[in-house]
Amino acid sequence: MVDAPLGDDPPHGRSDSGLVARLSRGAHGLGAYVALPGLIGLIGVDVFLRYVLRAPLPWGNEVGSLLLLVAFVASLPYCTHSGGHVRMDLFYARYSARGRRRADAVSALCGLVLASVLAYQSFAEVGRMYRLGSGAYLIDLPYWPFAAFLGLSASVLCLQFLLAIGRGFARIPEGMDR
């Protein structure tokens, strides 16, 4: 961010090793270590070809935009999993453990609404894009795999939020609410 802590994972991190956590880490790896370097390489090569060889990649912008979508969407579940989304913790920091779980559950509920809408409509778009043959104009690259990826990422988010809601309303043992 302008301004997130550096060098560490964001606060409120969890160390789940379940399937959802593995999926979020896998998607994040794709975004961070494939899509981002791909973007740097693609734009860098395009600039070189444009200004040095006078032969830019005609499809550079379109592919760059789709890579950006992958980079953003791929890390959303991991960012959520590691508590990386910014929140105003003026009151949150003062809540008891029970209060925080409730706030986390409400947050997850909000996130679930958004993520389920995104997942539902993205999968609906997959079919529509496939039927219409929607894709990039200057290169043979269909859009539907990207819509599917958006839907999959949103689905992982839905699972994360459902787990968080479950945690939020789970009974907290006596004496652990501080």
Partner 1 sequence: MDPVVIGIAAMVVALSLIFYGVPVGFALGVVGFVGNGIMLGWPQAIVQTQLVAWEAGSDFLLIALPLFLFMGQLVFNAGIATDLFETVHKWFGRLPGGLAVTATIASAGFGAVTGSSVAAVATMGTMLMPEMRRYKYDPGLATGSLAAAGTLAILIPPSIPFIFIGVWTETSIGKLFVAGIVPGLLLALLFACWVVVRCVLDPRLGPRGPSYSWSERFLSLFRLLPTASIFGVVLGGIYGGVFTPTEASAIGSIGVIAVAVAMRRLTWQALADALHQAAILSAMIYLILVGGILIGKFLVQTQITTNLIAYIGQSGLDRYLVIALFTVMYLILGAIMDTFGMIILTLPFVFPIVLALGFDRIWFGVYVTVMIELALITPPVGMNVFVMKRVAPEVPMMVIFRGAAPFGVITLLFVVLITLFPEIVLWLPSTM
Helix axes 144-169, 60-81, angle to 10 degrees: 10
DSSP state of 176: -
Site string for partner 1, 109-148 (x = CB under 8 A): -xx-xx--xx-xxx--x--------------------xx-
The nearest distance, CB 50 to partner 1, in angstroms, is 8
CA distance 116 to 152: 11
Binding partner 1 by CB under 8 A: which of 49, 57, 103, 163? 103
Collapse the DSSP code of 173 into the 3-class scheme (helix H, G, I; strand E, B; otherwise coil) and give the result: coil
Whether 166 and 101 have beta carbons less than 8 Å apart is answered as no
Collapse the DSSP code of 15 into the 3-class scheme (helix H, G, I; strand E, B; otherwise coil) and give the result: coil
Site string for partner 1, 23-62 (x = CB under 8 A): -----x--xxx--xx-xx-xxx-xx---x---------x-
Whether 159 and 116 have beta carbons less than 8 Å apart is answered as no
Residues that bind partner 1 (CB under 8 A): 1-7, 9-10, 28, 31-33, 36-37, 39-40, 42-44, 46-47, 51, 61, 64-66, 68-69, 71-76, 78-79, 82, 84-92, 95, 100, 103, 106-107, 110-111, 113-114, 117-118, 120-122, 125, 146-147, 150
